[in-house]
Amino acid sequence: MTELDPDKAQAAIEHCYEQGWSDGLPLIPATDPLVDKFLAAAGRSPDEVIGRLPQLDRVVTVRLAAINAAMAGCLPEYFPVVLAAWEALMRERVTGGGGWQSTSGPAPLIIVNGPVRAELGFNTAGGVFGPGFRPNATVPRAIGLIVRNVYGIHPHELEQATQGLPGRWSICVAENEEESPWPSLASEAGLPDGVSAVSATLLRTCEFVDNRHTASAEQLLADFADSIGRSGPWIFQHAAAGVVFCPEHAQMLAAAGLGRAEVRGWLVEHSGRTTADLARVGKDRVEGRLRLPGDGEPAAEFQRMLASEDRTNLLIAVAGARNAGISMIVRLFADWSGAAVPVIRP
């Protein structure tokens, strides 16, 4: 390895910092030969427009996405996954509006299905929310760099996150289809088996449900419903959520005869708070879109957090290790498109 020149590499990395291109971590300096490999892996026209923000008058092309994916540390063969993740995000209502600039500082959640998981080495199992796996780490980072560099949405300037959230550009899980009792998320979205695909939405946060000792599916679901329905994340009439179930929880629910739709139906019915509970936190009255302080009546009325049993209000996926009953509730920034976007390779 005598021909490697770390001093030159360091200088090139510092150059990228000096240009303001970095999210804070070192970038891979992108060059034409490297980016050409990305473009070849995707087989798309470099000039194809894949995103636009009218308020900023900026557009994302395949070529600009490739440069940012290379800088994020992706391998060229990840690029079709980056493009599918980007398109899945573009199908979210809020990403064409003010989502990236929001005080909420939302994070993309990217979920990968299909053969591409094993082919590219995506983690589906232990520690699936990271870190440690190059595709899981670099695909979402590429999205963050596109937003930063192509849209020009920088923190403290056009990006106004009050606090943001941990791991904002690093949440990419591959579904553990092998240990899931249910059809994959991509199948649920209507894609044929064997098609690699990406689903994505924007999150406000993730929070765990640790329940290892009940044998009752109803008690387990009640634990999820209680956490989903708490008041803090509830700012509009309804709020959307998701659950990334660990295999153990998913298998227990499936053994009780519950599919995704039944789980969703149960959680929609039971996730929420009474008007009295909501009055205590000044969120019992709905005016326009917002929750505001009201008079607390009728006190015993149960208000549901999730708008309906439509899957766009409650994303359900399965990932992680089959070693404990620990699952993750995810808090959606808005509603979810419900789409799974196929990974296209030439």
Partner 1 sequence: MPNAILDPTGRAQARPPAAGLQLAPRRQDPSGLRVGLLNNTKHNAALLLAEIGKLLAADHSMSVALAETKPNFAAPAPAELVDRFREQCDVVVTGVGDCGSCSASAVADGIVFEQAGLPSAVICSDAFTVTASAMADLRGAPGYHFIVTEHPVAVLDEEQVRQRAKRLAPEVVALVTAKAGR
Work out whether 90 is an interface residue with partner 1 (CB under 8 A): no
Q: Give the x-and-dash track for 18-37 against partner 1 (CB under 8 A).
A: -x-x-------xxxxx-x--
Tokens found for residue 12: 């090139």
138 binds partner 1 (CB under 8 A): no
Shortest approach of partner 1 to residue 333 CB, angstroms?
A: 12
| Contact call for residue 323 and partner 1 (CB under 8 A) | no
Instruction: Quote the CA–CA distance of 66 and 69 in Å, as a whole number.
Output: 5
Compute the least distance from the CB of residue 90 to partner 1, in Å.
Answer: 15
Compute the CA torsion angle 41, 135, 328, 263 (nearest 10 deg): 30
CA distance 339 to 92: 9
316 close to 229: Cβ distance less than 8 angstroms: no
Which residue lies nearer to partner 1 by CB, 139 or 150? Answer: 150
Question: Is residue 7 a contact residue for partner 1 (CB under 8 A)?
Answer: no
57 versus 212: smaller Cβ distance to partner 1: 57
Buried-exposed string 93-102: b where 16+ CB fall within 10 A, e elsewhere: ebbbeebbbb
Task: Please give the sequence-ordered ranges of beta strands (E in DSSP) within 222-311, or none if there are none.
Answer: 241-245, 272-274, 285-287, 290-292, 302-304
AA letter at 262: E
Bond prior to 131 in cis (omega within 30° of 0): yes
Q: Compare residues 105 and 229 and give the one whose CB is closer to partner 1.
A: 105
CB nearer partner 1, residue 41 or residue 253: 41
Binding of partner 1 by 203 (CB under 8 A) = no
Contact letters for partner 1, residues 281-300 (x by CB under 8 A): -------x-x----------
By the rule CB under 8 A, 15 interacts with partner 1 = yes
| Interface residue with partner 1, options 6, 156, 298, 346 (CB under 8 A) | 156
Among 121, 130, 152, 296, binds partner 1 (CB under 8 A): 152
237 binds partner 1 (CB under 8 A): no
165 near partner 1, judged by CB under 8 A: no
Read off φ and ψ for residue 235, nearest 5 degrees: -115, -25
Residues between 248 and 287 that touch partner 1 (CB under 8 A): none
From 71, 197, 240, 250, residue interacting with partner 1 (rule: CB under 8 A)? 71
Query: What CA–CA distance (Å, rounded) separates 65 from 146?
Result: 6
Among 45, 55, 214, 216, binds partner 1 (CB under 8 A): 55
Of the candidates 103, 216, 219, 323, which one interacts with partner 1 according to CB under 8 A? 103
Residues 151, 81, 180, 246, CA torsion sign = negative
Sort 278 into a burial class: Cβ within 10 Å, 0-12 / 13-18 / 19+: buried
Q: Which stretch binds partner 1 (CB under 8 A): 153-161, 171-179, 307-315, 336-344?
A: 153-161
Q: Which is nearer to partner 1, 151 or 245 (CB)?
A: 151
Angstrom distance (rounded) from CA 319 to CA 302 = 32
The alpha carbon of 59 is separated from its chain's Cα centroid by a whole number of angstroms, namely 22
**Which of residues 26, 46, 56, 265 is near partner 1 by CB under 8 A?**
56
Rule CB under 8 A: is residue 61 a binding residue for partner 1? yes
Residue type, 292: L
List Cα–Cα distances, 18 to 13, 22, 73, 86, in angstroms.
9, 9, 18, 27
Task: Kindly state the smallest distance separating residue 55's Cβ from partner 1, in Å.
Answer: 5
Q: Footprint of partner 1 on this chain (CB under 8 A)?
A: 12, 15-16, 19, 21, 29-33, 35, 54-58, 61, 64, 67-68, 71, 97-99, 101-104, 145, 149-150, 152, 156-161, 288, 290
